[in-house]
Structure 1
Amino acid sequence: MSIPDLTGVTTLLLDADGTLFPSEEPAFVASAAVTQDFADRYGLTGDFSPEHLRLTTTGRNFRTTAQHLADRQGVHLDPAELEAWVEREKQEVTAYLGQALTVQPDVVAAVSALRRRYRLAVVSSSALARLAACFTASGLEGLLPAESRFSAEDSLPEPTSKPDPAVYRHALAGLGIAPRQALAVEDSATGAASAVAAGIATAGLVQFVPEAEQPGRTEQLRAAGAAWVRSAWGELALDLTGDTVRVAT
């Protein structure tokens, strides 16, 4: 797929988990333990292993996943109880990611280069506390400050999750820009569908997708409306700046 005309793009809207840092695998390790306890509490059956959850729920937050699991088996969730589970999952995953993630020099270099050319913001399904821990651990905190982060969990009047385009529409309004002025960067079909539904041109990035899954993920991103897909941050930065990104050693 060819790169679309990006002449009017002033702002990059970056997904976080699995896009800016390799958080999905460790996040699902921590989340799976909570999900299994949740399933045991309500008598839910199924495969709640980290790998199965990663393959079937990537791009969604825990609230959406928990509600879907309950609805699928006809279990009514008390809203207050659901919120308690959401809070527990958020705390446990945030703590785990804060210890598991490390600085990715190539990402830092690419984001730094892009920041010189574009306004950057983060648009995620994850909670703001989780994002803060991830940005600190991955060395991106200073490049993507708190005021430029939009969370489907915390920033909206009512929490939701991608593929609902609400968080992207909220980000556009908060930044005071039209969809044609933005380019979204997403690693999942769920995220790409969210951005595309908000009218935003979208690039796919599969750097942190397991290598064996990258061809399939690339096709999923294209099917969801991604205009083009790249395998590494350096490639995407070259597309958008015309310059080769040099990684500090």
Structure 2
Amino acid sequence: MPKVKYILLDCDNTLVQSERLAFEACAELTNEVLEKHGQSERYTVDSLLEDFVGHNFRNMLIGLQKKHNFTMSQEEVDDYVARELGAVTRKLSQKAVECPGVTTELNKLKEQGYPMSVVSTSAKPRVVASIEKVGIDHFFPPEHVYSAATSLNPPSSKPDPAIYFHACKELGVKPEETLTVEDSKSGATAAKRAGIPLIGYVGIYGIEDSKEKMEQMAKTLTEECGAKAIMYDWKEFQDCLKKIEA
């Protein structure tokens, strides 16, 4: 079997520890929306992560309307999406840090001659702010950063595989000739639906949650999303890559 022709990487909580920071910024806006529409429930960062991890803000607003039975106009949704992007991008460009060991592994891949790209649900300005802040942007030229929220018309969100199909088409590779790394069920489901071999990364749960959550996620990514390998630490990437290439 030929070696993997392209390595596609999720960004949030896979390359960069960004989800919690992003959810801090959007929890305030989410609660503002609920208040405005006469809803009594309020979200904390944790409860928002629990309900919506792996989803972009536009998708979250759709989910909120369904869950709490209210309706927002398209204009209002667009306005909140723009405000959230500004707030999150500012926060990430100040505070984002890489997932442990990412730079070391990306350097190895570059030396080995693997081309790499970012395939994210999040809006492109947010992704670029994250990778610039942690100093890995030189691995990913701007035209190789693909965003379901920005690169597609109409915008989409994982678990819809559209962004993976788009990236593969742009890069001139078949989905099965690539591999990807995902940390969330929605991202991993998108990869599965696109027919892309998947490495599940669960190291972030060890940092943000608990050992139990990490094991639970490893099980979900393997059993439900068909991950070919599970990575607890980026140091294991080369072994996972060999496993997929074999």
TM-score (norm. length: structure 1): 0.90
Change beyond 3 A, Cα 1:45–1:226: farther
Q: 2:31 aligns with which of 33, 36, 52?
A: 36
Higher helix content, 1 or 2? 2
1:1-249 → structure 2 map (5 Å cutoff): 7-102=2-97, 106-117=101-112, 118-209=114-205, 210-212=209-211, 213-222=213-222, 223-240=224-241
Report how far residue 173 of structure 1 moved.
0.7
Q: Which moved more, 1:66-75 or 1:155-164?
A: 66-75
Q: Which moved more, 1:178-187 or 1:45-54?
A: 45-54
**How many positions carry a matched residue from both structures?**
237
Alpha-carbon distance between aligned partners in 2 of 1:104 and 1:20, rounded to the nearest angstrom: 5
- DSSP 3-state at the match of 1:123: strand
Report how far residue 39 of structure 1 moved.
1.2
Alpha-carbon distance between aligned partners in 2 of 1:224 and 1:105, rounded to the nearest angstrom: 24
Q: Is the 8 A contact 2:149 2:156 kept in 1?
A: yes
Report how far residue 102 of structure 1 moved.
3.0
Q: Is the 8 A contact 1:18 1:208 kept in 2?
A: yes
Report how far residue 165 of structure 1 moved.
0.6
Report how far residue 100 of structure 1 moved.
1.2
AA paired with 1:134? S
Deviation string, structure 1 residues 191-233 (Cα, Å, up to 9, x no partner): 0000110111111011222343211111111122211111011
AA paired with 1:230? M
Which consecutive aligned stretches of 4+ in structure 1 deviate over 6 angstroms post-superposition?
Answer: none
Alpha-carbon distance between aligned partners in 1 of 2:186 and 2:178, rounded to the nearest angstrom: 18
Alpha-carbon distance between aligned partners in 2 of 1:28 and 1:72, rounded to the nearest angstrom: 18
Alpha-carbon distance between aligned partners in 1 of 2:219 and 2:99, rounded to the nearest angstrom: 26
Alpha-carbon distance between aligned partners in 1 of 2:108 and 2:153, rounded to the nearest angstrom: 34
- DSSP 3-state at the match of 1:29: helix
Q: Is the 8 A contact 2:96 2:130 kept in 1?
A: yes
Alpha-carbon distance between aligned partners in 1 of 2:242 and 2:42, rounded to the nearest angstrom: 44
AA paired with 1:232? D
AA paired with 1:204? G
Report how far residue 98 of structure 1 moved.
1.1
Report how far residue 129 of structure 1 moved.
0.5
Report how far residue 8 of structure 1 moved.
4.3
Report how far residue 104 of structure 1 moved.
5.6
AA paired with 1:46? E
- Which 5+ residue runs of structure 2 have no aligned equivalent? none
Report how far residue 157 of structure 1 moved.
0.9
Report how far residue 167 of structure 1 moved.
0.5
Identity across matched positions, percent = 33
- DSSP 3-state at the match of 1:142: helix
- DSSP 3-state at the match of 2:4: coil
Report how far residue 238 of structure 1 moved.
3.8
Q: Is the 8 A contact 1:8 1:180 kept in 2?
A: no
Alpha-carbon distance between aligned partners in 2 of 1:47 and 1:74, rounded to the nearest angstrom: 15
- Which 5+ residue runs of structure 1 have no aligned equivalent? 1-5, 243-249
